[in-house]
């Protein structure tokens, strides 16, 4: 099981996706604590999610931890799973109303970052962390 989680290829360009996904999630997670009324619990309360105080810290913590893991390339496949779930919930709770009220193209415009983070996270789940990663270092040391 451990090998499936840390297994990766020698791709040198995967770091670009890791930098994009990891940086955005790390930043968003930190902001959920710094600006809780607007981006954390307050945002979750505004969109009608239950237990907004708990969810703000819970989601923010996952975004920070998983963002860091992806940035350093440690357990990238495992770290991408919660981020995929976060993005699916975010899109379902915030973009469905835009779709219903303003239409498809407005929803697509408003969800561009969501799509980038969702697809980037799916890419990392499939591909792994690439050449320049802690996972690759662990794999080399096992050989």
Both tokens of residue 43? 């945002």
pLDDT digits (tens, 9 = 90+) for 20-35: 999 999 999 999 999 9
pTM for the whole structure: 0.92
pLDDT digits (tens, 9 = 90+) for 74-91: 999 999 999 999 999 999
Percentage helix, strand, coil, to 5, in the chain? Answer: 80, 0, 20
Residues 6 or more apart in contact with residue 56 via CB below 8 angstroms: 32, 33, 36, 40, 41, 42, 43, 44
Q: Are 95 and 114 in contact (CB under 8 A)?
A: yes
How far is 67 from 28, CA to CA, in rounded Å? 9
């Amino acid at each position: 099981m451990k090998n499936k989680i840390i297994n990766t290829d020698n791709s040198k360009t995967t770091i670009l996706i890791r930098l994009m996904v990891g940086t955005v999630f790390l930043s968003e997670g930190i902001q959920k604590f710094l600006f809780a009324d607007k981006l954390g619990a307050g945002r979750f309360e505004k969109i009608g999610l239950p237990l907004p105080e708990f969810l703000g810290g819970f989601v923010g913590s996952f975004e920070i931890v998983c963002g860091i893991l992806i940035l350093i390339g440690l357990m990238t496949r495992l770290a991408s799973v919660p981020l995929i779930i976060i993005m699916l919930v975010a899109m379902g709770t915030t973009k469905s109303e835009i779709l219903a009220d303003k239409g498809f193209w407005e929803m697509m415009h408003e969800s561009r970052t969501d799509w980038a983070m969702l697809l980037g996270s799916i890419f990392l789940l499939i591909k792994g962390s690439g050449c320049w990663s802690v996972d690759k270092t662990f794999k080399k040391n096992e050989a």
